[in-house]
């Protein structure tokens, strides 16, 4: 298989894997698991698999001084984002939640302007306006959509942008597999503690529940993390990011197929505007990198 095709396939698989997260979450609510327990299982099992992979691949390692920051980022940054996202899924469809979350590149851009005091270009401004107009259009349904759900989904994107911005400054030049292992371990500890101190820690009582938890840890977490790593290695960051916009599209398709979810025509248009802004921002970044090289 040609390298470019292999890289593309890896990113598509990764996007599909991440797209299943909202679907798994919806099914977990149907089996009466509190979201703290579901996420404790998700991150705990994912951390276990990732640490086992690190034993097989000795070059996949994290420096000792990077482990505690990664663990803390998982306990705070990763855990909060996942919590807000899962809470949004209690009020919105999986597809709509994914579309609103995917506005996070616009929030990352705004944070970078604020932190680095860079003057925005016309292209970047247009992309941001496109993203926010898309959000407005996506959420206009004459009171049929939960306002709380919209706030939570957008807040999930904002927090994810903050998390990415902070983590890129604290943990640099690291391999994604060991980094994800420590992030997942930190998040698992946070959710396990939350569950034990709150509603209690749910455990699976049958094979179906066990398979769902294993699926959310592997299909929706481990496989996408590894896929995105190889995608970036082969295709580069920008092309990988653009291909990753397939994720909310896959979520929409899976939501329609498995959960019978639907979106109104204007929501499809708004979603396309949000994804278009992501592609535009990534193309702009790719151009700037090529110009600087």
Question: Alpha-carbon distance 151 to 292, whole Å?
Answer: 38
Q: How far apart are CA 235 and CA 241, in angstroms?
A: 10
Nearest to 10, CA basis, from 263, 285, 232, 267: 232
Instruction: Quote the pLDDT of residue 90.
Output: 93
Please list the pLDDT of the chain residue by residue as tens digits (293 residues): 778 788 888 889 999 999 999 999 999 988 888 899 999 999 999 999 999 988 888 777 888 888 898 899 999 989 999 999 999 999 999 988 988 888 887 787 788 777 777 677 778 788 888 888 888 777 766 556 788 998 999 999 899 888 888 887 777 677 788 888 999 999 999 999 999 998 899 999 899 999 999 999 999 999 998 888 788 778 776 677 777 888 888 998 899 899 998 877 888 888 888 888 877 877 776 666 666 55
**Predicted local confidence at residue 58, as pLDDT:** 78
pLDDT recorded at residue 232: 76
The whole-angstrom separation of Cα 168 and Cα 100 is 23
The token duo for 220 is 């929706």
Q: How far apart are CA 228 and CA 210, in angstroms?
A: 26
- Look up residue 119 and give its DSSP letter: P
CA separation for the pair 227, 184 (Å, rounded): 17
Q: DSSP letters along 163-175, please?
A: HHHHHHHHS-S--
* 45 contact partners, CB below 8 Å, separation of at least 6: 213, 214, 217, 218
With H, G, I as helix, E, B as strand and everything else as coil, classify residue 90: coil
The number of residues making up the chain comes to: 293
257 vs 228: CA distance, rounded Å: 25
Q: Where are the beta strands (DSSP E) in the chain?
A: none
Q: What is the pLDDT of residue 179?
A: 87
């Amino acid at each position: 298989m040609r390298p470019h095709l292999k890289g593309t396939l890896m990113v598509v698989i990764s996007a599909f894997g991440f797209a299943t997260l909202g679907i798994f979450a919806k099914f977990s609510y149907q089996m009466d698991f509190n979201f703290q327990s579901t996420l404790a299982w998700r991150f705990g099992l994912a951390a276990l698999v990732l640490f086992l992979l690190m034993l097989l691949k000795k070059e996949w390692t994290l420096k000792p001084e990077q482990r505690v920051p990664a663990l803390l980022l998982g306990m705070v940054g990763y855990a909060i984002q996942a919590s807000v996202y899962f809470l949004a899924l209690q009020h919105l469809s999986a597809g709509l939640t994914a579309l609103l979350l995917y506005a996070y590149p616009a929030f990352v851009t705004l944070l970078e302007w604020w932190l680095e005091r860079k003057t925005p270009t016309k292209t970047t401004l247009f992309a941001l306006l496109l993203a926010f107009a898309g959000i407005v259009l996506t959420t206009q349904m004459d009171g049929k959509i939960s306002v709380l759900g919209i706030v939570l989904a957008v807040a999930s994107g904002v927090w994810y942008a903050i998390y990415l911005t902070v983590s890129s400054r604290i943990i640099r030049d690291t391999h994604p597999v060991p980094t994800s292992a420590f992030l997942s371990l930190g998040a698992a500890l946070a959710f396990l503690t939350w569950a034990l101190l709150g509603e209690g820690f749910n455990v699976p009582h049958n094979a179906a529940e066990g398979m769902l938890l294993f699926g959310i840890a592997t299909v929706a977490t481990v496989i996408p993390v590894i896929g995105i790593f190889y995608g970036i290695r082969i295709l580069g960051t920008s092309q990988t990011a653009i291909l990753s916009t397939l994720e909310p599209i896959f979520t929409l398709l899976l939501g329609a197929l498995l959960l019978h979810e639907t979106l109104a025509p204007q929501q499809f248009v708004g979603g396309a505007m949000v994804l278009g802004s992501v592609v535009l921002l990534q193309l702009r970044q790719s151009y700037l990198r090529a110009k600087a090289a």
